[in-house]
């Protein structure tokens, strides 16, 4: 205790407290920059790891597959039938019910127990609805306690008829029925689409369906939309789930290894790590000659890995407004799922190769004695064979989020009479967060016709608030009995923002990282007329509507459409992005507006440190 007292006295004599506090704003900026740069370092050679199969029981690619040319005629026959059904339905010769009867007939003829699932996602007069078809093949060597799922949506993520995928699924069902190797039941599902339809079926399977087959261990979604071709070039794997959830890495590794045994190239995010288009498109010839081919190749692979990583994060952040490949429908039920999609039309691989991908992957899942658990559930993929684990990438989000508490400590420590303002600031923060959360909650339960006017009002008010902070005169300095001190209010709100965003990073890293980077400028909001212009710029670049408009411009849709899509994704897929928007980002921005409008000067700066008193 004596040593501690002595150190305290020395620190007080040297003024270390004021010096440290004075450097906190610079430290806040520094850690946020380091956090952002951390992400750019991850795709460098030596920073990532190569994927490997942790669960020995999977034995990927070890079993010989027999879904070959002998089954091609079955695939062709089913493909011809499915094409005829699609054409007849498009021409009005048959209706949806008749189409469903045809599909049920195919599964029933094979000997599967079949059933229908009527689904709907309703909101007042609006409704998304349809009928899903599924059949169950009971394992000849199992106890009906576990199951695997093979899915082929009638309509895929691009709105195309999944003719090839459905044909392969039915042919595989016929083929699997002849084999006695299965120890797990297999459920064959043909939902009406890969979005709400499949999600509704998964939910109903665990709650209300009469025909079930046991706990689902894994699921594979087949997507082969090219009806005119029986060949493809390579296979793309989709793996992103809802709310940041990901399948066990072993499932992805199994599919990639199975593809490699067929010499089939696999890509994720539509990018090949060895694609040279980046260098050819963006690098000047002078730089190519200066660095040489070897260095250009290294840089090109780095750029592709970075693009794959950022694309994967973007897909997780935009869940609900991006396309639904189908695998994400199993999120939340402890089911690992991936989507396999055939790409191209002129490659050396025929449609039976695509079927063997599903066959061999299911054979590996069939080997499991327990649920996927050995490998990673939190990771960032840089290529089909390279990844970054959570222990490597999580510090980047923690650093960005740590910038908010650092600024909060600076603001609070340099504010005199803190105790008198603390309670008042809490009431201000609670009022703003309560109002925004209430508005967000009300918009989820009112008719869509009422959502538009409310959102329009929010957009207009949000656009006017930063402008008023410049045009309108600042209010006079408030007396001691004023509602709250802006510096204390900002300090508490930044502290809460940093804590909540850090907690979010452990659940949905991509959303937390993007939110932290888009709102890091909140650290530089300061009250007082001397900061009007800088505050206006910060309020514009941190406004959630600004970024909704930017995303809408990229996707060529309006911000209102994006918000409607987020609402429907909340209703149909239970995606949390809407709550994050109205429960965290918007109230924090409004508090920043309130602080920027205050005439109270910024806290007294330390005479030592980064910000010196003028």
What is the total residue count of the chain? 614
Question: How high is the pLDDT of residue 423?
Answer: 83
Provide the token pair at 532.
Answer: 């009007």
Here the CATH number for the domain that contains residue 242 is 3.40.630.10
**pLDDT grade, residue 448 (50/70/90)?**
confident
Question: How high is the pLDDT of residue 297?
Answer: 83
**pLDDT grade, residue 613 (50/70/90)?**
very low
From residue 108, alpha-carbon distances to 111, 137, 181, 182, 394 in Å are 5, 11, 21, 19, 49
Judge if 397 and 454 occupy the same domain.
yes
Mean pLDDT, to the nearest integer, of 571-580?
A: 95
Look at residue 2 and tell me whether its pLDDT is greater than 80: no
Q: Which domain holds residue 348?
A: 56-272+335-384
- Which residues, at least 6 apart from 535, have a Cβ–Cβ distance to it below 8 Å? 466, 469, 525, 526, 596
Mean pLDDT, to the nearest integer, of 133-150?
A: 94
- 133-147, 433-447, 590-604 — which is least confidently predicted? 590-604
Residue 314's Cα: distance from chain center in Å? Answer: 6
Mark which of 384, 415, 442 sits at the end of a domain: 384
Judge if 89 and 149 occupy the same domain.
yes
SS3 state of residue 530: helix
- Which residues, at least 6 apart from 392, have a Cβ–Cβ distance to it below 8 Å? 42, 47, 48
**pLDDT grade, residue 601 (50/70/90)?**
very low
**pLDDT grade, residue 614 (50/70/90)?**
very low
Look at residue 478 and tell me whether its pLDDT is greater than 80: no
In a domain, 308, yes or no: no
Among 241, 232, 266, 228, which residue's Cα sits nearest to residue 361? 266
Query: pLDDT digits over 302-347, tens only?
Result: 999 999 999 999 999 998 788 999 999 999 999 999 999 999 998 9
Kindly report the number of other CB atoms within 10 A of residue 297's CB atom.
14
Q: State the total domains in the chain.
A: 2
Query: pLDDT digits over 8-58, tens only?
Result: 777 677 667 778 888 999 999 999 999 999 999 999 999 999 999 999 999
In a domain, 179, yes or no: yes
DSSP codes joined into one string, 421-490: HHHHHHHHHHHHHHHHHHHHHHHTTS-HHHHHHHHHHHHHHHHHHHHHHHHSPPPPPP-TTSS--HHHHH
From residue 187, alpha-carbon distances to 118, 160, 172, 461 in Å are 17, 23, 12, 51
Judge if 421 and 501 occupy the same domain.
yes
In a domain, 188, yes or no: yes
Query: pLDDT digits over 546-562, tens only?
Result: 999 999 999 899 999 99
Query: pLDDT digits over 453-467, tens only?
Result: 888 888 888 777 776
Q: Order across the sheet with 126-137: list the strands.
A: 113-123, 126-137, 185-190, 146-151, 215-223, 336-343, 234-238, 266-267
Judge whether 490 and 595 are in contact, CB under 8 Å.
yes
How far apart are alpha carbons 221 and 12 in whole angstroms? Answer: 65
Provide the token pair at 279.
Answer: 């260098």
Judge if 37 and 151 occupy the same domain.
no
Judge if 376 and 400 occupy the same domain.
no
Q: Is the dihedral of CA 183, 185, 188, 191 positive or negative?
A: negative
How far apart are alpha carbons 297 and 484 in whole angstroms? Answer: 58
Among 352, 350, 358, 360, which residue's Cα sits nearest to residue 75? 352
Q: What is the pTM of this model?
A: 0.92
In a domain, 299, yes or no: no
Question: How high is the pLDDT of residue 578?
Answer: 96
How far apart are alpha carbons 205 and 378 in whole angstroms? Answer: 26
Judge if 39 and 64 occupy the same domain.
no
Q: Which residue has the tokens 């909650």?
A: 441
Judge if 358 and 496 occupy the same domain.
no
Judge if 121 and 151 occupy the same domain.
yes
Judge if 355 and 422 occupy the same domain.
no
Kindly report the number of other CB atoms within 10 A of residue 418's CB atom.
16
In a domain, 571, yes or no: yes
Judge if 357 and 489 occupy the same domain.
no
How far apart are alpha carbons 557 and 303 in whole angstroms? Answer: 29
In a domain, 426, yes or no: yes
Map 45-109 to HEC letters. Answer: CCCCEECCCCCHHHCCCCCCCCCCHHHHHHHHHHHHHHHHHHHHHHCCCCCHHHHHHHHHHHHHH
Question: How high is the pLDDT of residue 480?
Answer: 47
In a domain, 12, yes or no: no
Task: Report the mean per-residue pLDDT for the chain.
Answer: 90
Judge if 371 and 470 occupy the same domain.
no
**φ, ψ of residue 209 in degrees (nearest 5):** -70, 140
Query: pLDDT digits over 209-265, tens only?
Result: 999 999 999 999 999 997 778 899 999 999 999 999 999 999 999 999 999 999 999
Provide the token pair at 264.
Answer: 């089939």
Judge if 576 and 496 occupy the same domain.
yes
In a domain, 19, yes or no: no
């Amino acid at each position: 205790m004596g040593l501690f007292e002595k150190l305290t006295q020395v620190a007080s004599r040297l003024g270390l407290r004021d010096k440290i506090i004075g450097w906190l704003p610079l430290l806040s900026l520094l850690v946020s920059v380091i956090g952002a740069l951390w992400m750019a370092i991850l795709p460098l050679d030596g920073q990532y790891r190569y994927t490997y199969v942790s669960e020995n029981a999977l034995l990927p690619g070890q079993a010989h597959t027999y879904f070959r040319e002998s089954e091609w005629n079955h695939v062709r026959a089913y493909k011809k039938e499915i094409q005829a059904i699609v054409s007849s339905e498009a021409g009005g010769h048959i209706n949806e019910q008749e189409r469903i009867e045809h599909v049920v007939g195919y599964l029933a003829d094979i000997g599967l127990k079949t059933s229908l699932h009527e689904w709907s996602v309703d909101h007042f007069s609006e409704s998304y609805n349809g009928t899903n078809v599924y059949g169950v093949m009971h394992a000849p060597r199992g106890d009906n306690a576990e199951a695997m799922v093979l899915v082929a949506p009638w309509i895929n993520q691009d709105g195309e008829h999944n003719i090839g995928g459905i044909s392969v699924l039915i042919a595989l069902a016929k083929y699997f029925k002849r084999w006695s190797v299965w120890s797990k039941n297999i459920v064959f599902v043909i939902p009406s689409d890969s979005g709400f339809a499949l999600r509704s079926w998964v939910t109903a399977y665990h709650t209300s369906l009469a025909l079930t087959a046991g706990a689902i261990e894994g699921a594979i979604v087949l997507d082969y939309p090219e009806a005119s071709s029986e060949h493809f070039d390579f296979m793309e794997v989709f793996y992103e789930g809802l709310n940041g959830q990901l399948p066990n890495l072993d499932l992805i590794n199994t599919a990639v290894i199975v593809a490699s045994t067929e010499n089939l190239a696999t890509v994720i995010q539509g990018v090949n790590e060895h694609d040279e288009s980046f260098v050819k498109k963006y690098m000047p010839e002078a730089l190519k000659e200066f660095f040489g081919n070897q260095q250009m190749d290294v840089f090109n692979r780095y750029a592709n890995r970075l693009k794959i990583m950022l694309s994967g994060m973007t897909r997780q952040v935009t869940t609900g407004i991006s396309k639904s490949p189908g695998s994400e429908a199993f999120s939340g039920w402890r089911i690992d799922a991936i989507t396999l999609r055939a790409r191209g039309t002129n490659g050396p691989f025929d449609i039976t190769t695509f079927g063997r991908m599903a066959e061999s992957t299911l054979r590996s899942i069939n080997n499991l004695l327990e649920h996927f658990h050995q490998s990673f559930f939190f990771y960032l993929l840089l290529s089909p064979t390279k990844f970054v684990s959570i222990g490597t990438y999580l510090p980047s989000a923690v650093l960005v989020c740590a910038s908010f508490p650092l600024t909060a400590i600076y603001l609070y420590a340099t504010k005199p009479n803190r105790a008198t303002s603390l309670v008042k600031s809490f009431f201000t923060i609670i009022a703003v967060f309560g109002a925004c959360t209430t508005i967000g909650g009300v918009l989820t339960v009112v008719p869509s016709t009422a959502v538009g006017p409310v959102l329009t009002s929010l957009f207009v008010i949000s656009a006017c608030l930063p402008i008023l902070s410049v045009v309108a005169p600042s209010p006079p300095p408030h007396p001691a009995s004023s509602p709250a001190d802006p510096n204390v209010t900002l300090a508490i709100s930044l502290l809460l923002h940093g804590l909540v965003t850090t907690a979010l990073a452990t659940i949905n890293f991509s959303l937390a990282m993007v939110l932290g980077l888009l709102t890091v400028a909140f650290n530089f909001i300061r009250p007082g007329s001397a900061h009007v212009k800088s505050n206006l710029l910060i309020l514009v670049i941190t406004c959630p509507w600004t970024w909704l408009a930017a995303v809408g411009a990229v996707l060529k849709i309006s911000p209102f459409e994006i918000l409607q899509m987020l609402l429907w994704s909340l209703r149909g897929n239970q995606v949390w992005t809407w709550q994050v928007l109205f429960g965290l980002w918007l109230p924090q921005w409004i508090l920043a507006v309130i602080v920027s409008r205050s005439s109270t000067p910024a806290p007294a700066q330390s005479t030592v440190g980064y910000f010196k008193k003028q």
